[in-house]
Structure 1
């Protein structure tokens, strides 16, 4: 490896950095490989609020951004603002060797194309399949906005010198729908930072006097299935006759308030806590205390082929998982999870009950998951693939 591999500019819109764990892992991996790394991202609401920060050698340029409201048209306003600020800050960063754009949105190829005139190569880091995201989030069908996001995805694929996919399902889309050459598509799986996810002494107070704690960790958006989890918990109570549990939902998102209200409508307000986003030390305390973790993402065009970060994080904490039957959920978790038929809340509840009654199976599943995250699914494998993708881009 050379002394200075080059100058890389990473563009990300949906989270601030270093709060975006995947982007932060990629940034530090590139730094360790000799790259000068700049990141352009939005400012956070409560963290990552400075306009500029240099953290561990990573130069981070942030812009103000108001999150979308009001459906698809709100996202057009958000993405337009993000694109303008990103272009403005990219000009300030100056000449780079690689523009590394993380989606959504599939619009940063416009910035990459402008910088390509000065010799930059374009790496497209496909975090989401935006056409599938649109279908799954808005239920509007293949309307004119769907056709527009398909065109943006095609333009991004065409502009990219290299594509980074988060799993094999996404890689196949890049090869088929994107028409990319197999030697220009690299799988860089998201993997939890092991040093962040470490078991601590369980906190029995989190169970609120019950024998068992159920835990959900993650974003609460329209496609994330928190409503499915809550209805499954109501069925666990009503159909399985189980009231020997308490549940914690850790995280925030667009539907947070609606999910709190749904829990009240289902009569679960005394059985469920909603913590919002919490510090890491509290997060590991909840997961270390959990007996079963929930991955209730329903089957839809996006979820079936996406790797869920929460599944990987549950596994890092050696926790057994209940999931719906999704293609990439099974690829990630294997025997560390049990799988209910897609979107079947009664079966989901039944599987929770079965695991609560089988501590040996819970322990076996947890150990299997942890060994997968520390072995074949570890960040070390992804780091090597990331560096190989960059080598291919600049060769």
Structure 2
């Protein structure tokens, strides 16, 4: 055997984002590499990435051909295609290590269609880890056109959870659901490494080299050149993400005579065209700028230019389970958060946010207005308390040792 085939081997499989764009998976991969494991990440070739093998920072990356479906049928086709392609690539990666070598397979959802791969791996002595990022059955139940598939997704989730040696999740709400429904405990692994804000370090000069932005306006310089405050939105733009609710709230602010702000939107997804159309219909084109999808370097720039992170995600069962990256990224950077009172987000911020009184658009608009009308000193105090909370409870250095101890093939 070669040294490569003897080294404990970790294979991480993703179905809906490539690395290093998927910061959760990339931080996990880097932690396993630092622990002495050989690490392979299997992921889709989307967001401007090419299919095929690549080596990045000592980690083997295998990207399979994929596509992003829109609508129920196309999304189902995407799920089946990516599951088959990912399983094929993961089997090949695991076979590249000798059968006597300690090996670990981690499967990140959505969807939950790789339980046959988990079965295959366990029969060959591979330690299996299920990373439940999203509660797929609840997501399906919350979306028109997908709710009839909920029993299928529940069955797939059951098989993933009962097959895995270890279950991890970023959300206390998800952990409680898994324990109640399946009598399985899950390890909370909250977040990924958050790059330091510009000015915190001189080590981020190379971050812009890997920007995968779709055709989009350059990031606005307005917050540096005038007194207007910048309300930022960052994330995937899907039906359940509430971007059009943010636009409706902005329209209410304008009707109330609230001024001195503008909105910057970074993200892409199936609901982005509808959001652009809504902005035009509401007469907000001069107030709202859409930037499209941003890679890690451009995200860093974006976060450095906004004054608050708006989290408009609406009241549906799925959103209450989500530990949202945009919330933890804002907390880590000391950016005040304006949010609706979703259970997991309220748990994350622990009272250090501008929280809407209820889930209505009117209440969310009022929370935005409270931020805009607050004093700079009060905004800074709330942001500082949120950052302290993040560093104490949610930061990657807080969670990385537990993750490595639980899943690394060098430990088991």
- State the TM-score, normalized to the length of structure 1: 0.90
**Match in the other structure for 1:336:** 352
Report SS of the residue matched to 1:164: strand
Which residue matches 2:108? 102
User: CA 1:28/1:98 → structure 2, altered by over 3 Å: closer, same or farther?
Assistant: same
Q: Which shows bigger deviation, 50-59 or 17-26?
A: 50-59
Say if 1:160 and 1:6 are closer, same or farther in 2 by CA, change over 3 A.
Answer: same
Give 5+ residue unaligned stretches, structure 1: none
Change in 2 beyond 3 A, CA 1:233/1:44:
same
Query: Structure 1's 151 and 29: CA in aligned 2 closer, same or farther, altered over 3 A?
Result: same
Q: Distance in 1 between matches of 2:38 and 2:193?
A: 24
**2: CA distance between counterparts of 1:309 and 1:172?**
20
* Residue 381 (structure 2) aligned to one of 354, 364, 370: 364
Contact 2:240 2:314 in 1 (8 A): yes
Distance (Å, rounded) in 1 between the aligned partners of 2:263 and 2:227 = 10
The alignment of Structure 1 onto Structure 2 pairs a total of residues equal to: 383
Give 3-state SS (helix, strand or coil) of 2:262's partner. strand
In structure 2, the residue corresponding to 1:10 is in which secondary structure? strand
Give yes or no for contact 1:247–1:273 (8 Å, CA) kept in 2.
yes
Relative to 1, partners in 2 of residues 1:346 and 1:156: Cα closer, same or farther, differing over 3 Å? same
Separation in 1 of the partners of 2:289 and 2:224?
10
Q: Which residue of 2 aligns with 1:41?
A: 43
- Matched residue of 2:294: which SS? coil
State yes or no: 1:68 paired with 2:69. Answer: yes
Partner Cα distance (1:376, 1:307) in 2: 13
CA RMSD in angstroms comes to 2.3
Give the direction of change, closer, same or farther, for the CA distance of 1:314–1:343 in structure 2 (3 Å limit). same
Summarize deviations over 1:198-246 as a string: whole Å, max 9, x none: 458x9753578562211111111111110111000001111x3113211
Q: Is the 8 A contact 1:372 1:378 kept in 2?
A: no
Match of 1:9 among 5, 8, 11: 11
In 2, Cα distance between equivalents of 1:253 and 1:207: 28
Cα separation, partners in 2 of 1:306 and 1:337, compared to 1, 3 Å: same
Q: CA deviation at 1:281?
A: 4.6
Alpha-carbon offset, residue 298 of structure 1: 0.9
Residue 125 of structure 2 is aligned to residue 123 of structure 1: no
* Corresponding position of 2:187: 186
Q: Cα gap change, 1:250/1:203 in structure 2, threshold over 3 Å: closer, same or farther?
A: closer
Q: Report deviation, 1:11.
A: 0.8
Instruction: Check whether the contact 1:11–1:101 (CA below 8 A) recurs between aligned residues.
Output: yes
Instruction: Provide the TM-score with structure 2 as the length reference.
Output: 0.87
Distance (whole Å) between structure 1 residues aligned to residue 361 and residue 289 of structure 2: 20
